[in-house]
Homo-oligomer: A and B are copies of this chain.
């Protein structure tokens, strides 16, 4: 069992933000959706994914069984901005056999054993030569590292340091990588939920890692669950979920959608969202985009601890979305950032490393933040001179002189005071310190009493 610092659902229940939350956040629903996501990760775990190939296709098929996907195939050799779509890589088997014919390293036991994009090889080889093709983690002797060589043709094996130490330096070994690297396609999938407007929210996750759970599968699982939840809700925005190989996939997608990206008003990269650490939100390059402020608000109000970090031009596909020629308002949601947990890019990033409650907490956080974005309107006070008489409308305590005042009443006063056509509800939340959901309810109530109207 791994320990977790995910906050108990009980805490969330008491938090006012919950009141605006969709069905997923009922206590039972929270547990169920967490387990559902973890089960989906378990289903995807054995597949050998890379940036191209049948592992990606099979992953997209399994997603498509849950949410309908448009699958796109981009031919090898296609120019995408400064890059070229590489050859397609597939692999059937790979091993290192000792002189007795025993597989001492076996791809079929763990697909991390082969360096991704290894070219085919099959021959007998001395230990001295073999050693040049082996990668281990001496500081974690039981873990297998994860290595790739997409853009330089080579081959290699990753193995635990314990396996490596058991090899004999006076022995010859048979190495076999039964792979193919040929013209083919890069494959990605899209799922779109139409909303009232053509303005879009982009949710992007990478699908190019083999048996790694936090780094790629957790993002896929949360994205699929998000799509399922959002489908049930009234949507102002349209939502586009893209499941793409990292870097080259994002670049290919942007190259094919360059005329359409102006529709993206908010965006989010999901990665490493299943471990037990607190949530980390990385701001977009703009630094103060609405999505940045929405997550900052939600994390401050709904999480006991969380981190907000500034944009940096390294990390995941926010690098591409936030390149200066696009500069899209796309942030990145993580729990523990890549490289900050020892299990990163090793076989220890496995099914035990991702937790159902962490996945559910990430999902809930996204839903809260999207709820902010969906409802972040500008309002106008229809009775802007002095306060309206709330008492006769039942919106205010009847007996004066009491010192205690409920948050609901404060929210009504704040909304009336700031509804001058220049403040969004999120502006009001930031200035008042009240949760967005409480202000949203106050705005709804005031609108029903014809004291408030949305400007846009």
With a 10 A CB-CB cut-off, give which of A323, A325, A413, A414 has the most chain B CB atoms. A323
State A251–B254 Cα separation when bound (angstroms): 57
Task: Decide: A345 and B401 in contact? CB cutoff 8 A.
Answer: yes
Task: Decide: B401 and A147 in contact? CB cutoff 8 A.
Answer: yes
> Chain B residues near A401 (CB, 8 Å)?
145-148, 345
State A389–B338 Cα separation when bound (angstroms): 22
Task: Decide: B151 and A385 in contact? CB cutoff 8 A.
Answer: no
Task: Decide: A258 and B152 in contact? CB cutoff 8 A.
Answer: no
Task: Decide: B323 and A386 in contact? CB cutoff 8 A.
Answer: yes
Q: Is A403 an interface residue (CB 8 A)?
A: yes
| CB closest residue in chain B, given A261 | B385
Q: Is A322 an interface residue (CB 8 A)?
A: yes
Interface residues of A in 285-330 (CB under 8 A from B): 285, 312-314, 319-320, 322-327
Q: Is A166 an interface residue (CB 8 A)?
A: no
State A247–B251 Cα separation when bound (angstroms): 61
Given A325-B381, A417-B285, residue A386 in contact with residue B150 (CB < 8 A): no
How far in angstroms is the closest Cβ of chain B from A388?
A: 4
Q: Is A27 an interface residue (CB 8 A)?
A: no
With a 10 A CB-CB cut-off, give which of A344, A385, A405 has the most chain B CB atoms. A385
Given A323-B387, A324-B384, A325-B385, residue A345 in contact with residue B403 (CB < 8 A): yes
> Chain B residues near A92 (CB, 8 Å)?
none
Q: Is A392 an interface residue (CB 8 A)?
A: yes
How far in angstroms is the closest Cβ of chain B from A26?
A: 34
Interface residues of A in 375-396 (CB under 8 A from B): 381, 383-389, 391-392
With a 10 A CB-CB cut-off, give which of A324, A413, A419 has the most chain B CB atoms. A324
Interface size on A, residues (CB 8 A): 59
Q: Is A101 an interface residue (CB 8 A)?
A: no
* Sample (6) of A-B pairs whose CB atoms are under 8 Å apart: A147-B401, A152-B391, A251-B386, A323-B386, A323-B387, A344-B403
State A338–B339 Cα separation when bound (angstroms): 49
Within 8 Å by CB of A400, from B81, B149, B251, lies B149
How far in angstroms is the closest Cβ of chain B from A60?
A: 22
Q: Is A418 an interface residue (CB 8 A)?
A: yes
Known: A258-B385, A312-B432, A313-B416. 15 other contacts (CB 8 A): A81-B385, A83-B386, A147-B400, A151-B391, A151-B398, A152-B391, A250-B386, A255-B385, A285-B417, A312-B410, A313-B413, A324-B384, A324-B419, A325-B383, A326-B386
> Chain B residues near A285 (CB, 8 Å)?
417
Task: Decide: A384 and B323 in contact? CB cutoff 8 A.
Answer: yes
> Chain B residues near A320 (CB, 8 Å)?
386-387
Q: Is A64 an interface residue (CB 8 A)?
A: no
> Chain B residues near A319 (CB, 8 Å)?
387, 413, 417
Q: Is A448 an interface residue (CB 8 A)?
A: no
How far in angstroms is the closest Cβ of chain B from A15?
A: 22
Q: Is A259 an interface residue (CB 8 A)?
A: no
Q: Is A82 an interface residue (CB 8 A)?
A: yes
Task: Decide: A148 and B399 in contact? CB cutoff 8 A.
Answer: yes
A399-428: CB near B (< 8 Å → 1, else 0) gives 111010100001001101111100000000
Task: Decide: A386 and B325 in contact? CB cutoff 8 A.
Answer: yes
Interface residues of A in 199-257 (CB under 8 A from B): 247, 250-251, 254-255
Task: Decide: A254 and B325 in contact? CB cutoff 8 A.
Answer: no
State A138–B24 Cα separation when bound (angstroms): 45
How far in angstroms is the closest Cβ of chain B from A111?
A: 14
How far in angstroms is the closest Cβ of chain B from A170?
A: 28
Interface residues of A in 131-169 (CB under 8 A from B): 145-152
| CB closest residue in chain B, given A396 | B151
Within 8 Å by CB of A314, from B258, B345, B399, B410, lies B410
| CB closest residue in chain B, given A250 | B386
Task: Decide: B405 and A152 in contact? CB cutoff 8 A.
Answer: no
Given A148-B401, A285-B417, residue A254 in contact with residue B313 (CB < 8 A): no
